[in-house]
Structure 1
Amino acid sequence: MIAAVERRFRTLKVPHRLEWLSHNGTAYIARQTAQVAAALGIDLLFTPVRSPQSNSMSEAFVKTLKRDYASTVILPDAETILTLLPEWIDGYCEVDPHSGLKFRSPREFLRLSA
């Protein structure tokens, strides 16, 4: 967690609210982990206990980003990935149709459901 914050923000404190989502493994729920997260300015969030659906959704999201976005460009370093990631996530949420949402993007589905 410390290394990720240092690499991303070049400091030991996040500049804005940041959430770290993980499962309920021993290392993630340990008091020391919570203390480090608090010192870094990170809010810890956990998937529901005994909820494989939560893990499946996050793994599917990562798999889709790798397959549909990361595999289509040359990625020489982490900086390039971090630069492209917001555009990929926006495309995933705003443009790409999802079969589970009647072939609408997530944002389109939410707008039509409201």
Structure 2
Amino acid sequence: MPPQPIQWLADNGSAYTAGETTDFAVALNLVACFTPVRSPESNGVCEAFVKTFKRDYVRVSPRPDAISVLQHLVEWFEDYNTIHPHSGLRMRSPVNSSLRN
């Protein structure tokens, strides 16, 4: 389990808003956050992030079980939020982008 709560962004689909799903998220120390209703832009951002995160972190890392994945989340998020290049920043990292502004 992550040492501190992690925000989990999802759309408002019934699979994500169901009580069992949100209870499971709480048990994993996840804070459920939902995109605004009728906001395809927000949903697209969410889906793009998930695709990037799975491609660049999850699929290339050893993950013998869920606990191993959870133990890496903080490290992966830190890298994504500081070092990883972002297309919205012209393929610069958030750190390099903020240094030039």
Which residue of 8, 26, 44 corresponds with 1:56? 44
Instruction: Give the Cα separation in 1 of the matches to 2:88 and 2:44.
Output: 14
Larger CA Rg, structure 1 vs 2? 1
Q: How does 1:1-114 map to 2 (within 5 A)?
A: 8=1, 21-25=9-13, 28=17, 33=19, 45-109=33-97, 113=101
Query: Does the 8 A contact of 2:9 with 2:46 survive in 1?
Result: no
Identity %: 45
CA distance in 2, matches of 1:110, 1:60: 22
Unaligned runs of 5+ in 2: none
Matched residue count = 93
Find runs of 4+ consecutive structure 1 residues off by over 6 angstroms.
15-18
Normalised by the length of structure 2, the TM-score is: 0.65
In 2, distance between residues paired with 1:102 and 1:58? 19
Task: Verify the 8 A CA contact 2:10 2:46 in the aligned structure 1.
Answer: no
- For the aligned residue pairs, the C-alpha RMSD in angstroms reads 3.1
Unaligned runs of 5+ residues in structure 1 are 1-7, 10-14
* Higher RCO (CA-CA < 8 Å; seq separation 6+): 2
TM-score by length of 1: 0.59
